[in-house]
């Protein structure tokens, strides 16, 4: 499939624009790390929104997922649901209240090692 010089230039301009947008949002991400929002959770949420936008741009434009078949989108949807489920499990485990303490070894052994 032969492409003309103008078609290639159009694609290159598109990729350069997306690269500039990604650079700007990277600067925004770094800037957000220096801004203290009312809660730490809000900082994380805003950072994740910016990171999700950047990841979507990379996936759709540079990985050419915006022209894929529907099966790819089904797999991506399953992956997204699975990851969100893991986040929910992590959140539930965080609020569980089970406290782990550091294991110092068996009593009466040197350096906290196991008995021989």
Q: Which of 96, 23, 100, 101 lies closest to 58 in space, CA to CA?
A: 23
For the chain, what is the mean pLDDT? 81
| Contact (Cβ atoms closer than 8 angstroms) between residue 53 and residue 25 | yes
* Predicted local confidence at residue 90, as pLDDT: 85
Average pLDDT rounded to a whole number, residues 81-99: 82
- The residue among 81 and 98 whose pLDDT is bigger is 81
| Contact (Cβ atoms closer than 8 angstroms) between residue 80 and residue 73 | no
Rg of the chain taking only CA atoms, in angstroms: 24
| Pair of tokens at residue 79 | 């992956």
Report pTM: 0.57
């Amino acid at each position: 499939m032969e492409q003309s010089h103008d078609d290639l230039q159009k694609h290159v301009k598109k990729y350069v624009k997306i690269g500039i947008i990604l650079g700007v949002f990277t600067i925004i991400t770094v800037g957000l790390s220096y801004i203290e929002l009312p809660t730490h959770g809000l900082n994380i949420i805003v950072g994740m929104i910016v990171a999700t936008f950047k990841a979507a741009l990379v996936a759709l434009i540079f990985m050419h997922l915006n022209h894929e078949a529907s099966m790819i989108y089904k797999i991506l949807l399953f992956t997204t649901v699975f990851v969100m489920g893991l986040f929910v499990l992590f959140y539930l485990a965080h609020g569980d209240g089970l406290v782990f303490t550091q294991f110092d070894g068996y009593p009466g052994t040197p350096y906290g090692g196991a008995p021989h």
